[in-house]
Structure 1
Amino acid sequence: MGKILFYISTFLFFGFTIFSEDTRLLEREVTVKAENERLDDFLNRLSQEIGGVFSYSPSAIDISQRITGEFNDKSCREILEEVFQGKIRYKQKGNYIILSPAPPSDKEITVSGYLVDENSGERIRNATVYDPITLKSSTTDEFGFFEIAVKNPTKENLELIINQERYTDTLLIDQKQSSFKRFFLKRETAETLTKPMKDFLQWAKESIGVKNSKNVKDTLARKFQFSIVPFVGTNQKLSGSVVNDYSINLFGGYSAGTNKLELGGLFNLDRGQVSGAQLAGLVNQVGGSVKGVQLAGLANVNLDSLSGFQGAGLTNFTLRGIRGVQASPLLNVSGGNMDGFQASALINYTHKNAKGVQAGILGNISGGYVEGFQFGLFNYADSVNGASIGLLSFVRKGYHTLEIGADEIYPINIGLRTGTRGFYNILSAGIRPEKADSITWSFGYGIGTSPRLGKKTYLNFELNTSQMNKGNVLTTNLINRAYLGLDYQLAKGVAIYGGPSFNIRIFDSSYNDHPETFGYFTPRVFGRKTFESTNLGQEIWWGFRAGIRFF
């Protein structure tokens, strides 16, 4: 039984200790009265009221001074300020409040207090209080308390700016001595709906520096700044509200913008506009527009527009339009219009209109019209005034036809054309029904152009290659064709076509079971050759094509 009581008492003791340490003794509100009472006696009574212990040296504090006053529903901090008139500093450590003399007022003063809503009486948390000259700043805590130390005070009044999402004010402080008071602020009548930050700083949204950036609406300016990491530098915790001409970031920095040059060992983060040049070892992110050159080892991310050059080791992203050049090996993205040049080893994407050139080895995408050229294996656009050149291009408002026709080899040919009349891709297939066990068939790919000759007449010039097979695909048997013909529109969505073709067959001469090239019509074949070094054979002839097209 004794052991159980011991464990319970130990648990309660440590629990009380932890609770006491977690509780802000200085913020406990109490009601006490004193009439000509010695300071040490008054502090003993006050310590009992707040549940803590005052620690001080009797030689440093005049404990014999007399205290007279009535303190109703005031925090311990406010009571100490009224008693000592700013001549004593205090801080909580565990369950103790340590009192020590303040520095002489000619060397340093402290401005502190509570920010309180004028109407509701509620304390205002997460407000930024700063000196616009020295950029010294403080952010109010959960009790609305702030504190700023001013070294070497002058005779002039100190101006402090207060900013919070719903409050803005200016304080004029007498610098002759330290001061503490409650500052009552009036909420702005025209409240604005604040949007969440559009960038990847969500990890730091509760930090003091980012709160300052949200609170401080004024734009501060500096010629030069140096930082090690965000908020650790010459602009201190107000760096997110300062626009710099020159900015050097050892590892990374965070600012309101840059006018001329910004260098970052790893990253640069700018809330606003960047002009000139911005270079980072890994990432640049800009919340405003970029005018100039932006280079990054991995990625550039702009949440507005770009006018200039953007180059990255992996990807470039601009939320709005670009006027200039984007170059990267992986991906270029323009969320608006593109006027210039996009070059990527993989994909270029423009959400709206593209004017200029998109060159991506894998592909290019434009959500609007393209005025210029697309070069890539796969291309997509809404409409094109120019050409989309690649393995397969699809233009939503472009040239799309399905044809059924015949030539000297196959009585049935089916072809799909997609792209623009300036340049289109052709997917084709042919079949020759036979009585044999295996049918003769082919599949092929080609490119073509179709300029207008008259109101209903178009010229077709096409290059096509197809693999001719009997049953399975077993060996090389290519029919390479150049076609020049006419396309006449009978009605909307219906046309007939026809014209001559020049054909070269390249086949495996060591294989003896090729299908017969011609089944129902045999043209004159010339230019038969065999290349023994490569086991390839050649045949040349003139042929024809004709049929009907839809769409």
Structure 2
Amino acid sequence: MKKLITIPLLFFIVFPARAQSSSLEKRVSINISNQPLELALKMLEKEAEVHFSYNPRVLELDKNINYKAESRTLDHILNEILGPSISYKVHGTHIILQKAPKRDFYISGYVRDGESGQEIKNVSIYEPQTLASALTNTHGFYKIKLPVQQKDIDLKFSKKDYDLLIQPINNRSDQKLSVELQKTIKPKVLTAEVSAIKTPQVKLDTTPKIEERLSSNSKPQPVPVPEMEVKEKKVNIDLSEELAFIDTTYQKGKDHFLNWLMTTKQNLHFRNIQDSLYKPIQVSFLPFLGTNLRLGPVVTNDISVNIIAGYTGSVRKLEVGGVANFIRKDMTGVQAAGTLNLTGRSFAGVQAAGAANINLGTSSGIMAAGATNISVKDSKGLQAAGSLNVALSEIRGTQIAPFNYATRLNGLQIGVFNIAYDRTRNSLPIGFFSYVHKNGYRRLEFNASELNNTEISFKTGVPKFYNIFNTSFSYGRPNKPLAGVGYGLGTSWKYGERLGSNLDILSSVYFQEGEFSYLDQHYRASLGFEYKVFDRLAVFVAPTLNFYVGYDESLDFSSYKLLLSERTSRWLGENARTYTWLGYKFGLRLCNKS
């Protein structure tokens, strides 16, 4: 019985809805040629078999209509003829045309100084939830559009050097609202030093009276001269003012650059608004065209999607950009861009860019770029780039690129060229050429050996791992190669202030006069012992183990006393003589300060 009652009820509920839908979805073909709207609606009534009801004051009935449609839905035709300002209700075949409800309303007025009554220009007026905003013009006038459906509206008036004013909006219709702002009272700060008033000391007259001097018959006594202890003055160089000036100059330059990326209105809002506004998701087409509207630089988003490029205040989770991402303050999470990622204050997470990642503040996490990574402030984590990594402050982590630079290295550098101004004790650069200016290892070495009359070597890097660049000469002496160049690696130890040792491995090529088609090869391992005669000058001696591949038949090392082996063999597809022997080298080293 219940089922029998339910079925008719469902019929009466569903049928009117289907009738409404069928009336709007009915397909109509019509050709209206320069006819007034009133007649055009009658033609539609006839073709669609419906009836229109409307208030004549709502529609422009005298407006001429030119319209042609082939098998289009009635809903589509009405939208194109009447436009978005007219809505309609359907009851079966009866359609009521009426004015569409208002979606937005406007608030306008003037902003004045509460003390002088003068109009204030460039005041930011904004609503934090919708991010609607406006600026006063030169006459202090503003006009802002707000949504009718917004439940709670607190309109904020903000200007630099003025107190923030919050005005609740209860009426959802167009209205006038003029306000006065009060200037912010800044506490006075004493800039001059306050010193205590010095009172003059009263000196007692200790000179003996004349009578006492006349009556005294004592002999003159020698006057003892106190010994003066001369202390060596230590010169303390105070660079705090200079460093503060450099930091201030950098901050100004950074702010100027970040401001340059904003439009004029965005700049004005950024100077005025102290709030940290929030919106979960934003989508931008360009930095000045997106859902953050003109308040992007002061808005924090969880997720930011930039079709081409976007500019926002902070991002907490994810930002993706087709070309570039610009963040004024902080980025936390994952940031990926086709070309460039740039953050102004701090970054923590993962950055990936086709060209470059630039962090003008601190950074922590992984930075991966096709070309360049740049960190201006302290950096922690991994920098990996196709060409260049730059850490202008301390980096605690690893840099991997063909060229790496760090002002202070606290970790590992892996690249072809590694440069650091300073380093911590356990830091290590590994590459073809490494240079550490402070706390690094450098030696310019002049020595002789059983094979060469003169060798000049330059060693650079750190004590644990350094590069060796070598050249050697024998000045045409018999049974010696004419000249050679070599490259090697080494490590060193210290046993005190003056004594140390090092292990070097060097590979060299030699050539004879007028013969460059075959280059002899020399491999040498040496264990050296160094003694510093002065802070920058040391003497050393080192036993060596040598392996030589010679193509020049005029060279013969079989007479060496410590020869270990001699044989003729194939080397790299050519006939060659190979020698193995124990040798030596000794000389002088010019050392860096360490």
CA shift for structure 1 position 161: 1.4
Distance of aligned partners of 1:327 and 1:507 in 2 relative to their CA distance in 1, 3 Å threshold: same
* Aligned counterpart, 2:269: 212
Is the contact made by 1:314 and 1:331 (CA closer than 8 Å) also made in structure 2? yes
Of 505, 517, 530, the match for 2:548? 505
CA shift for structure 1 position 260: 1.9
Matched residue SS, 1:357:
strand
* Aligned counterpart, 1:335: 392
Q: Which amino acid aligns with 1:528?
A: R
CA shift for structure 1 position 290: 1.6
Is the contact made by 1:317 and 1:333 (CA closer than 8 Å) also made in structure 2? yes
Distance of aligned partners of 1:144 and 1:225 in 2 relative to their CA distance in 1, 3 Å threshold: same
Is the contact made by 1:153 and 1:175 (CA closer than 8 Å) also made in structure 2? no
> What is the percent sequence identity of the aligned residues?
30
The answer on 1:543 being equivalent to 2:583 is yes
CA deviation vs aligned residue, 1:245-290 (integer Å, no higher than 9, x gap): 2233333332221122222333322222122222223322222212
The answer on 1:378 being equivalent to 2:433 is yes
**Counterpart-to-counterpart distance in 1, 2:559 and 2:536:** 31
The answer on 1:366 being equivalent to 2:420 is yes
CA deviation vs aligned residue, 1:460-504 (integer Å, no higher than 9, x gap): 322223333444562412332222343334454444333432222
Q: What are the residue-to-residue correspondences of 1:20-419 with 2, within 5 Å?
A: 109-118=105-114, 123-152=119-148, 159-170=154-165, 172=167, 176=171, 178-180=174-176, 183-190=179-186, 195=252, 198=255, 201-344=258-401, 346-351=402-407, 353-360=408-415, 362-370=416-424, 371-382=426-437, 396-419=438-461
* Aligned counterpart, 1:25: none
CA shift for structure 1 position 203: 4.9
Matched residue SS, 2:451:
coil
CA deviation vs aligned residue, 1:206-262 (integer Å, no higher than 9, x gap): 432343233211011222333333343333222322212223333333222112222
CA deviation vs aligned residue, 1:39-96 (integer Å, no higher than 9, x gap): xxxxxxxxxxxxxxxxxxxx9xxxxxxxxxxxxxxxxxxxxxxxxxxxxxxxxxxxxx
**Counterpart-to-counterpart distance in 2, 1:107 and 1:540:** 93
Is the contact made by 2:558 and 2:566 (CA closer than 8 Å) also made in structure 1? no
Q: Which amino acid aligns with 1:369?
A: R
CA deviation vs aligned residue, 1:105-133 (integer Å, no higher than 9, x gap): 99765322333445666543332111223
Is the contact made by 1:159 and 1:170 (CA closer than 8 Å) also made in structure 2? no
Is the contact made by 1:529 and 1:539 (CA closer than 8 Å) also made in structure 2? no
Is the contact made by 2:432 and 2:467 (CA closer than 8 Å) also made in structure 1? no
Matched residue SS, 2:574:
coil
How many residues align structurally? 428
Is the contact made by 1:407 and 1:543 (CA closer than 8 Å) also made in structure 2? yes
Q: Which amino acid aligns with 2:184?
A: E
CA deviation vs aligned residue, 1:135-164 (integer Å, no higher than 9, x gap): 2211223333211134438998x6321223
Matched residue SS, 1:238:
helix
Moved more, 311-320 or 438-447: 438-447
Distance of aligned partners of 1:517 and 1:414 in 2 relative to their CA distance in 1, 3 Å threshold: farther
Is the contact made by 2:373 and 2:385 (CA closer than 8 Å) also made in structure 1? yes
Is the contact made by 2:319 and 2:325 (CA closer than 8 Å) also made in structure 1? yes
* Aligned counterpart, 2:34: none
**Counterpart-to-counterpart distance in 2, 1:134 and 1:486:** 75
Matched residue SS, 1:224:
strand
Distance of aligned partners of 1:403 and 1:299 in 2 relative to their CA distance in 1, 3 Å threshold: closer
Q: Which amino acid aligns with 2:276?
A: T
Matched residue SS, 2:120:
coil
Q: Which amino acid aligns with 2:463?
A: R
**Counterpart-to-counterpart distance in 1, 2:362 and 2:411:** 17
Q: Which amino acid aligns with 1:348?
A: N
Is the contact made by 2:548 and 2:579 (CA closer than 8 Å) also made in structure 1? yes
Distance of aligned partners of 1:178 and 1:228 in 2 relative to their CA distance in 1, 3 Å threshold: same
**Counterpart-to-counterpart distance in 1, 2:144 and 2:467:** 71
**Counterpart-to-counterpart distance in 1, 2:528 and 2:253:** 60
Matched residue SS, 1:198:
helix
CA deviation vs aligned residue, 1:306-332 (integer Å, no higher than 9, x gap): 222222222222221122112221222
Distance of aligned partners of 1:543 and 1:149 in 2 relative to their CA distance in 1, 3 Å threshold: closer
Is the contact made by 1:408 and 1:521 (CA closer than 8 Å) also made in structure 2? no
CA shift for structure 1 position 546: 2.5
Distance of aligned partners of 1:469 and 1:424 in 2 relative to their CA distance in 1, 3 Å threshold: same
CA shift for structure 1 position 302: 1.7
**Counterpart-to-counterpart distance in 2, 1:283 and 1:321:** 20
CA shift for structure 1 position 435: 8.0
* Aligned counterpart, 2:567: 528
* Aligned counterpart, 1:20: none
Q: TM-score, normalised by structure 1?
A: 0.67
Is the contact made by 1:106 and 1:153 (CA closer than 8 Å) also made in structure 2? no
Is the contact made by 2:394 and 2:406 (CA closer than 8 Å) also made in structure 1? yes
Q: TM-score, normalised by structure 2?
A: 0.63
Larger radius of gyration: 2
CA shift for structure 1 position 369: 0.8
